[in-house]
């Protein structure tokens, strides 16, 4: 991976690599999300020293490494933590609280020993492997009992998260602590002393769901105000947290179709929509994560036993999209207007927000001392002559990217 993945990541303008859980797990098909070894790097990719070497080489090439971590539950396999001494050591003794929807065991967060065990594991990965970020899976299942808001908050798990985030921020101030949380629990990314959970970022799963629903719609229906608002609603709550906009592995498996295949229309229309989706995602506020393979514009769903469809780059339409995505990444990366003021009201201004009849959106991205970019999105694809976009700064504007050019 040092020789193949690092050059690929650099050439295509990525800043970080996020890896699925590296904590050891028994079943390939779980992708690492059902763990049995919280202090063991999975042997699938080599030994611990080799993983350390890979991360070190990423750092030498200015690439950060984020790893997934599963704090909510563990596998029931007898050689793991389940019924560790013949009784419930790591899991809840109450059978109604013990088992998850994934047929695994919830950690008993009411026990100090369990909280200490998981905090030590998180510390271990930051201290010995020097990861730059940890993305915590299924945080809503920690906040609420079994992820069910009607059952109330899990106070033991909330205590664990607050304590862990506080300690990790003290020991590793540059480490990114990322919550994959689908709930509406407030202040996930606020400091603990301000009543928050202490994470640095939260996945905006609401944005992801609304956006993909919008692009599945026939353009005939996009003028419907409820459909139109699927692209505007997320900015109503955006500044309440520090959000990451994710298009992850969960969206390209199990019959959900690939992102390209979710797009409305025939093949050409799907590609046009796909380019527009990524332009929208990359230019609006929020950090971004995109699952590897999406840049190839795959029609085949991801499968952990198969390679990605690298042969697709032999086809002009896929190669053109790949080139487009490369240039889009580099455009974002070299212009601070697209990332410096992500979480400041000064960095984003709607210019056209209510033209639902023509499904046109426009906004500005800017910094106080840099360039201003005007992003215009035409989600019907109709030609408009003399369409006026209001701007906040007088002057001449130069086109820097047009999806129809690829």
Per-residue pLDDT of 83-114, as tens digits, reads 999 999 999 999 999 999 999 999 999 999 99
The pTM for the full model equals 0.95
Task: Work out the pLDDT band at 232, boundaries 50, 70, 90.
Answer: very high
Q: How far is CA 349 from CA 42, 52, 228, 393, in A?
A: 45, 43, 18, 12
| Residue 393 pLDDT | 87
Please say if the pLDDT value at position 335 is more than 90: yes
Chain-wide mean pLDDT for the chain? 96
Task: Work out the pLDDT band at 368, boundaries 50, 70, 90.
Answer: confident
| Residue 370 pLDDT | 80
Please say if the pLDDT value at position 269 is more than 90: yes
**Residues 33-41, mean pLDDT to the nearest whole number:** 97
| Residue 360 pLDDT | 96
Per-residue pLDDT of 143-182, as tens digits, reads 999 999 999 999 999 999 999 999 999 999 999 999 999 9
Q: Under a CB-based contact definition with an 8 Å cutoff, are residues 194 and 187 in contact? A: yes
**Residues 175-203, mean pLDDT to the nearest whole number:** 97
**Residues 290-299, mean pLDDT to the nearest whole number:** 95
**Residues 209-231, mean pLDDT to the nearest whole number:** 95
Q: Under a CB-based contact definition with an 8 Å cutoff, are residues 150 and 171 in contact? A: no
Task: State what percent of residues in the chain have pLDDT above 90.
Answer: 97
364 is catalytic: no
Per-residue pLDDT of 309-323, as tens digits, reads 999 999 999 999 999
**Residues 327-335, mean pLDDT to the nearest whole number:** 96
CA atoms within a 13 Å half-sphere pointing along the CA-CB vector of 188: 25
Q: Considering the candidates 180, 251, 298, 364, report the single residue annotated as catalytic.
A: 180
Q: What is the 3-state secondary structure (H, E, C) of 59-89?
A: HHCCCEEEEEECCCEECCCCCCCCCCCCCCC
Q: Considering the candidates 18, 108, 132, 137, report the single residue annotated as catalytic.
A: 137
**Count, residues in the chain:** 406
| Residue 188 pLDDT | 98
| Residue 340 pLDDT | 94
Euclidean distance between CA atoms 254 and 283, whole angstroms? 29
**Residues 208-236, mean pLDDT to the nearest whole number:** 95
137 is catalytic: yes
Please say if the pLDDT value at position 369 is more than 90: no
């Amino acid at each position: 991976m040092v020789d193949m993945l690092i050059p690929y990541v650099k050439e295509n303008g990525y800043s970080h690599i996020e890896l699925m859980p590296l904590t050891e797990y028994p079943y390939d098909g779980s992708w690492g999300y059902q763990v049995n070894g919280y202090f063991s790097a999975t042997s699938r990719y080599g030994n611990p020293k080799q993983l350390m070497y890979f991360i070190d080489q990423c750092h030498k090439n200015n690439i950060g490494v984020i790893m997934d971590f599963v704090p909510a539950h563990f596998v029931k396999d007898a050689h793991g933590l389940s019924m560790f001494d013949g009784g419930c050591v790591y899991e809840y003794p109450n059978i109604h609280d013990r088992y998850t929807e994934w047929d695994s065991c919830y950690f008993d967060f009411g026990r100090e020993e369990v909280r200490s065990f998981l905090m030590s594991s998180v510390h271990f990965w930051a201290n010995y492997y020097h990861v730059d970020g940890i993305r915590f899976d299924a945080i809503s299942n920690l906040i609420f009992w079994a992820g069910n808001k009607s059952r109330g908050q899990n106070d033991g798990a909330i205590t664990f998260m607050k304590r862990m985030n506080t300690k990790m921020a003290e020991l590793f101030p540059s480490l990114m602590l990322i919550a994959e949380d689908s709930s509406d629990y407030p202040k996930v990314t606020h400091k603990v002393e301000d009543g928050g959970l202490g994470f640095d970022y939260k996945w905006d799963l609401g944005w992801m769901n609304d956006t993909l629903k919008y692009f599945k719609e026939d353009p005939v229906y996009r003028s419907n105000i409820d459909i139109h608002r699927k692209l505007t609603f997320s900015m109503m709550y955006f500044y309440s947290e520090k959000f990451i906009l994710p298009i992850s592995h969960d969206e390209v498996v199990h019959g959900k179709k690939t992102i390209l295949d979710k797009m409305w229309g025939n093949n050409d229309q799907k590609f046009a929509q796909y380019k527009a989706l990524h332009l929208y995602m990359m230019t609006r506020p929020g950090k971004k994560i995109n699952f590897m393979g999406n840049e190839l514009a795959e029609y085949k769903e991801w499968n952990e036993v198969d390679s990605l469809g690298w042969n697709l780059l032999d086809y002009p339409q896929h190669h053109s999209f790949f080139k487009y995505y490369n240039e889009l990444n580099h455009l974002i990366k070299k212009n601070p207007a697209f990332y410096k003021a992500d979480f400041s009201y000064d960095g984003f201004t709607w210019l056209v927000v209510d033209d639902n009849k023509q499904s046109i959106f426009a906004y500005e991205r800017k910094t106080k001392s840099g360039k201003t970019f005007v992003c215009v999105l035409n989600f019907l694809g109709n030609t408009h002559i003399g369409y006026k976009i209001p701007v906040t700064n007088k002057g001449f504007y130069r086109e820097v990217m047009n999806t129809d050019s690829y």
